[in-house]
Homo-oligomer: A and B are copies of this chain.
Amino acid sequence: MTGPRYTPLAQSLPATVPFVGPETQERQRGAPFAARLGANENIFGPSPRAIEAMQRAASEIWMYGDPENHDLRAALAAHHGVQPDNIVVGEGIDGLLGYLVRLMVGPGDPVVTSEGAYPTFNYHVAGFGGVLHKVPYAGDHEDPQALFAKAAEVGAKLVYLANPDNPMGSWLKGADIVAAMQALPEDTLLVLDEAYVECAPDGTAVQVDADDPRLIRMRTFSKAYGMAGARVGYALGAPELIAAFNKVRNHFGMNRAAQAGALAALVDGEWLAHVQTEIATARTRLGEIARENGLIPLPSATNFVTIDCGKDGIFAKCVLDNLVASGIFVRMPFAEPHNRCIRVSCGPRADLDAFATALPAALAAARR
């Protein structure tokens, strides 16, 4: 038997996963985590109205979701002051990044990102045969000038920039990104991942014409809206680009209850404000915990705090392993030199207390 014939590209790909899930680690440990602070999930949860909407939708789950996502796109358009044809809804930003890369990137096509930026974007680029060119961070920040200069140098089809940044938690002013875009080659598309922007100070989101063909903005209900498990992301962009998603997307791919939940979450501004306050409180508390242990919390405009453990990647990995072994799920999705850090998600008092309790011993063991 010769068996099925994969494409040359598929043959060349590793069977990989951008992130190992906490459930996998729990099965390996043989015990659940005491605190789930590693995936930048929002433990404060979604709006009670969103939960109610999803529960109500459960009994009508026999129906496929609306493949046009009409009602959600209409509400998002009103929310952002744009037209529905500026918006495509998809299975999380991960799903939308996959479709976007598929539309743009073929074997050998150049793409630019930062060394240490979002691995799932890289997964998609590699998955369609694209060639990644990486620029270093400027300190703890992404570096739009360097990204766009590299894009010009290599003729990039796409350049990826997250603002606020994951995994560093750092952020840039939207106006500074817009200014830097003057150097963006006119045939390079900026993929601006604003997954965490609802956790950031005013002025972090870019103010651009929704029809601007130079960029596409990625947004999600997974972070501030607390619905990671629902898989609802959306992209804002020029109508021609947004329409192109209809060539490749899984039209009936959206969960019907998730559509209803996102719609309910979007209109509950009060809950969003509540969560924003909770996140700010948790960031402050995480900073205190870090400092009490002689570590340096980096400033954050996200729902996590990146903590500099003060030594090298081997040390930080040892701290991380000790935390995980003691039941605290955290991650260090960093490239050098940022792998001196661990990343801890915001959460309620009890979760952060569990982290605070485990950290001293994890550090002491790492120092031995």
Nearest Cβ on chain B to A118's Cβ, whole angstroms: 12
Any B CB within 8 A of the CB of A95: yes
Q: A254 to B228, Cβ gap below 8 A? A: no
Q: B23 to A68, Cβ gap below 8 A? A: yes
Which residues of B sit under 8 angstroms from A244, Cβ to Cβ?
6, 10, 15
Nearest Cβ on chain B to A153's Cβ, whole angstroms: 16
CB contacts under 8 Å to B, within A146-195, are 157, 186-189
Q: B252 to A255, Cβ gap below 8 A? A: no
| A254 to B, closest residue via Cβ | B231
Binary flags per residue of A42-76, CB closer than 8 Å to B gives 1, else 0: 11111000110011011111111111101000000
State which of A103-111, A137-145, A277-285, A356-364 sits at the interface with chain B.
Answer: A103-111
Any B CB within 8 A of the CB of A293: no
Chain A binding surface, main DSSP class: loop
Any B CB within 8 A of the CB of A24: yes
Any B CB within 8 A of the CB of A136: no
With the chains together, A5 CA to B98 CA distance in Å?
Answer: 16
Q: Given A67-B19, A247-B127, A258-B255, verify A229-B41 contact (CB < 8 Å).
A: no
With the chains together, A238 CA to B253 CA distance in Å?
Answer: 25
Q: Given A58-B55, A256-B229, verify A64-B39 contact (CB < 8 Å).
A: yes
Any B CB within 8 A of the CB of A81: no
Which residues of B sit under 8 angstroms from A258, Cβ to Cβ?
255
Any B CB within 8 A of the CB of A91: yes
Any B CB within 8 A of the CB of A115: no
With the chains together, A258 CA to B244 CA distance in Å?
Answer: 28
Q: A103 to B229, Cβ gap below 8 A? A: no
Any B CB within 8 A of the CB of A30: no
Which residues of B sit under 8 angstroms from A46, Cβ to Cβ?
61-62
Which residues of B sit under 8 angstroms from A66, Cβ to Cβ?
21, 23-24
With the chains together, A42 CA to B59 CA distance in Å?
Answer: 12
The answer, among B3, B91, B106, B246, for a CB contact under 8 Å with A187, is B3
Which residues of B sit under 8 angstroms from A18, Cβ to Cβ?
251
Q: B16 to A246, Cβ gap below 8 A? A: yes
Q: A257 to B58, Cβ gap below 8 A? A: yes
